[in-house]
A and B are shown apart, each in its own frame.
Chain A
Amino acid sequence: MASSEVDIKTRSRALELIRSHFKKLVEESEKGHKLQLVFPKRTLSNTIYDQKAKMLLLGPDVQYRSFTDINEAKKFMQTLLMASIIYNTLRNNEYPTIRDLFYRGKHSISYTSVDGKTISENSWDEQRESDSVIRDLEVLLNILREDLLILSKEKGKVVGNLVIRSGNDVIDLSKMGHGAYAIEPTPDLIEFIDVDAEYVLVVEKDAVFQQLHRYGFWRKNKVVLVTSAGQPDRATRRFVRRLSEEYKLPVYVLCDSDPYGFYIYSVFKVGSITLSYESERLSTPTAKFIGVTLTDIFGTEIFKDVLKKHGVKEALEEVTKGISKLGSKQPYLTPEERKNFVIKAKLRDVERAVELVGYRVAEACLESPEYKSKIKRKEGASGYPWFLTPEWVRELCIFFYTTSKLEIEAITGKGLKFLADEYIPRKIKSGDWIE
């Protein structure tokens, strides 16, 4: 197989990066310095939300991984082993997945201990371990795995008025028939040739994406239509980010109306906690949550009722200022429709919501005594800073109060026409979104 030019360039750049880094490591140790790797700490405590950049970033903490430290020796060995495997795959023009890398490096290491016993262990036992050192290498070398030609499963799809070059082929994404272009695991190797769109619409659900595609939604509205098919992978996020950054296209995200949907939106916008070191390249800070919101379902009157209850207003004001001064709006659903489409939130959903906005909001707004007692153990959870805005707190407050959620499919139950021709265009036109 003939590799494309970008591919070859990427390989030689990665090889050079790895070689020079470890050459320096050996030279340093020859000068009498410790044989150690220094890289940003990838821990929750060193993950911070940058209010200004509006994204999750790695903090300033640095980790030292020294070979002569008995607690780090194995990790050190694993890191070098992984580096050597990746180095070999780059040299041999291979495209491994992280699972391939796990199997390639998994082997036994045995030795004879001082008391004469032969002890055997594996270089690593679980993929969790090898995945972890891949992430370590990404931050150590300051390079994304995609640029090391490590592939992952293609999950994201895209259609729209968009012409790209992938490898040596030019692809027109408006001519995909009923299918769609699967976003390649190395989106940085894609070249945008022509983009003719007003905005990007990211849909959480693959089924909704297909319906909108067949309905001709993107053609009619000049939209680049993307789906992440659930939790977004890195390639999808990077692809969306490039469209936002390089073509200044507004990005709207359409998810289920539940805490999981809200979180998927936030991954697009600010990044994820486990991959915070990549936020700068993967997140789209301007992304907007178009729906479905709880206020789309219930309107804002219901929230005013909650605020009237004893102590609620004060508690919420403490969490985020200005919550009582939010504007009002009418619901998109009639009471009858609401009754049919809404489903009851499970404890799991409530707990996830507590993680997003904190225990105080839940305590103030929850009506159900059963859930109230069960989330007691989450006391002290303070929520993610990027969710502690008046708009999001109002959403979650209604969620706690009604313990209701809604899947986007339910909206299509009101008619695909309603979703495509009314709901989405109206919301975008009126600026009815949350940031």
Chain B
Amino acid sequence: MSTIGEKYTSISPAEFFYKYREVAGFANPVKAFYQTIKELIDNALDATDMHGVLPDVKISIERADEVQEFYKITVEDNGIGLPPDVVPYAFGRVLFSSKYSMKQSRGMYGLGVKMVVLYAQMTTGRPIEVTTSRENYRMIYYFKLRIDINKNEPVIIERGAWRKTRDWHGTIVSVTIEGDWNRAKQRILEYLHRTSIITPYANITLITPENEIVHYPRVTTVLPRPPRETKPHPHGIDLEMLKMLLNNNGDKTLEEILVSSFQSIGSSTAKVLLSTAGIDPSKKPRELAEEEIQKLFNTIKNYDKYRPPLSSALSPLGREVIEAGLKRIFEPEFLYAVSRSPRSYEGHPFIVEAALSYGGKTPMSPQDQPVVLRYANRVPLIYDESTDVITQVVKEDINWDHYMTSFPAQLAILVHICSTKIPFRGVGKESIADIPEIRREIRLAIMEAARELKHYLARKAREKEALRRVETIAKYIPEVARSLLIILEDESNEYAKKTLTHKLVTLVSKRSGVPVNVVDSIVKSVEIGA
């Protein structure tokens, strides 16, 4: 292969994703439809519950062309809204995102909504429309934009501003894409259903092209605590990040940079790190040699006396929210949620939450495992279930026999992992990798919930057994009473019959511990044949 004369051209990120759209989940009209809805709903929820706002999210999908499979998708939220100057870049430049800071959110790559715009442009050629306002604004802003693919720049086609006549804040986004609604419908409904399980505090309404209305009403006003922005933990950085930090802080000393850029590093720790690396703390970044940067990086990575990563950047759902959510959808007879304490892997904090829902309207499981509902940073994971570490724990690490459970059963297990960095397998973001620290936490969380399930099932079995035992006695009460009354020559005395029956019921109730009314109901059901 000849390299001489070979031409290397750089392409813009927008162009890159335009060409390789399957990477972001836009491979075909079915996946693209699903992905578009998912991105827009994720954004709507991020703009609300992550900021302490109880979400009201309305999604409408309408047929936008009589001949072609064009659909107009409009998602409205009551979130914090966007500043007008940010709007063109938030929707019109790939990789611009508010999501690069160290805090938990639904999306992470900053790609989602821009891929939607690109996909719309590519299939229908119609621009995106954005209407937004923030709480203290007096105006509502409107944009119609597209992306210049080569330059990776937003192109504003139309803009406008109105005075607010009512106290509204939030964002309304409309895109028109080509999609295969018939085949995407089930996936989209499933996604919405899964999302609603963990958002009992949200009102979510979907209007389909057939004018069907799917509505999940709010059942609690409890919101998970919003995440706070944090500096990265020193164990969580890579060499490129370190170089970027050094470049961006050229006029500070190394000590100042370490202290101001990382959590868990004060001036004494900074001094220890720099002296271990053999670097003068007062040196400025530009005075560092390449090997010194490498050495500093290794020292930071190998130092083991930091406090664990702060968990304030995380926003676990909490037991109350999980239980309210599962109750809303499944109305189970048994429900138990666990929210574990924060842990970390490779400098990234994470929290595992798990819940078991048993009976009621909980769906019937397959033959060999419970129904598994997986979530990462509040996003439901629907595909690639078999490769997910959560599934592996459920199938391999938990001995369900031990918890008095055999399958199929009306048993669903919900696992939510939140982290500043979810270790996904691949860019599909549908499956979580097997990280030992995470696997262990998942196992412990499920075991805790399963123990409660076992206690519940054991108690239920005991109660049922007690009832069975009492039944074998209580069913004979009428016959015994009748016989005794014949012998006492009192058989036509209704009062005596009532009194004696009641005496026997009380006696059986006292001996068995089963309440009088239960014994009584068995007795009342007895029929003596001729």
Contact = CB atoms under 8 A, between A and B. Distances in A.
A77 B479 contact: yes
Given A74-B476, A80-B479, A111 B525 contact: yes
Interface in B485-530: 486-489, 500, 503-504, 507-508, 511-512, 522, 525-530
A119 B526 CA distance: 9
A109 B474 CA distance: 12
Contacts, number: 94
A119 to B, nearest CB: 8
A107 B529 CA distance: 5
Nearest to A20: B487
Nearest to B479: A77
Contact of B482 (A22, A26, A84, A119): A84
Interface in B442-467: 464, 467
Given A23-B488, A87-B486, A113 B476 contact: no
A80 B483 contact: yes
Contact of B471 (A80, A84, A111): A111
A416 interface: no
Interface stretch (A65-73, A147-155, A389-397): A65-73
Contacts of A25: 484
A22 B475 contact: no
Interface size class of B (residues with CB under 8 A): 20 to 34
B468 interface: yes
Contacts of B488: 19, 22-23, 26
A81 B530 CA distance: 14
B90 interface: no
Nearest to A115: B464
Given A19-B489, A111-B527, A123-B479, A73 B472 contact: yes
B464 A114 contact: yes
Given A107-B529, A114-B468, A114-B471, A68 B486 contact: no
B476 A70 contact: no
A83 interface: yes
B510 to A, nearest CB: 9
Contacts of B472: 70, 73-74
B480 interface: yes
Interface string A106-118: 0111111110001
B473 interface: yes
Contacts of A70: 469, 472-473
A73 B489 contact: no
A88 B486 contact: yes
Interface in B363-399: none
Given A67-B504, A70-B473, 16 more contacts: A18-B487, A30-B503, A35-B504, A67-B473, A67-B507, A68-B512, A76-B476, A77-B483, A80-B479, A80-B484, A83-B487, A109-B475, A109-B476, A109-B528, A113-B471, A113-B522
13 contacts: A19-B488, A29-B503, A67-B476, A68-B473, A68-B508, A74-B476, A76-B476, A83-B487, A110-B527, A110-B529, A111-B471, A114-B468, A123-B479
Interface of B: 464, 467-469, 471-476, 479-480, 482-484, 486-489, 500, 503-504, 507-508, 511-512, 522, 525-530
